[in-house]
Amino acid sequence: MKNIVILISGSGSNMAAIVQTSVQHRWAERFGVRIAAVVSNRADSEGLALAKAQGIAVAVLDHKAYPTREAFDAALQAHLDGYVPVLVVLAGFMRILSADFVSHFAGRLINIHPSLLPAFSGLHTHQRAIDTGCQFAGATVHQVTADLDHGPILAQAVVPVLPQDTAATLAARVLTQEHLLYPQAIEDWLSRAHSAPGGHL
């Protein structure tokens, strides 16, 4: 069985959607993969309890315990390498990763971002979309590269921006779509990898 590891920092709602889909769509039987672990940089991440309840291994690596970003990333990389992951999924992991980390997991590191990239990379995406007068917003699943929020796009979901929207209401509408988009994008990635020459991940 091949391993997927999910990184979170907060509520873990996207992680929960991915875990649920992995069970309902029988990823273990179809692709020979399992969600092996959930790792957070915050001990108070609500998502850790959700993962534990599903019987998934959890770990906390507190970034504040390391003197530099590179030191934290090296420790995180070493922990993840223990699982030999075919895919590392960033699901609300609020850390900018170093170039060495991204390079190490190149081709098997994906993220979801709450905008229609390449528009509005970085933070405060929903307020920026409203302030700019966008009629549509959404979410993007993309491969992670050294350039923040600029890796190859794997999938996108679009939602309307309504006249009465606040950043909070728009965020909630986008998040509903994220919970559908991210598991499907991962499943599509697994399907492509599984059907590649050799027929395995």
Catalytic residues: 113
**Residues in the chain, how many?**
201
Q: Residue 11 CA to chain centroid, in angstroms? A: 13
Q: Give the sheet arrangement for strand 33-40, strand by strand.
A: 57-60, 33-40, 2-8, 85-90, 109-113, 136-143, 153-160
Phi, psi of 109 (to 5 degrees): -130, 120
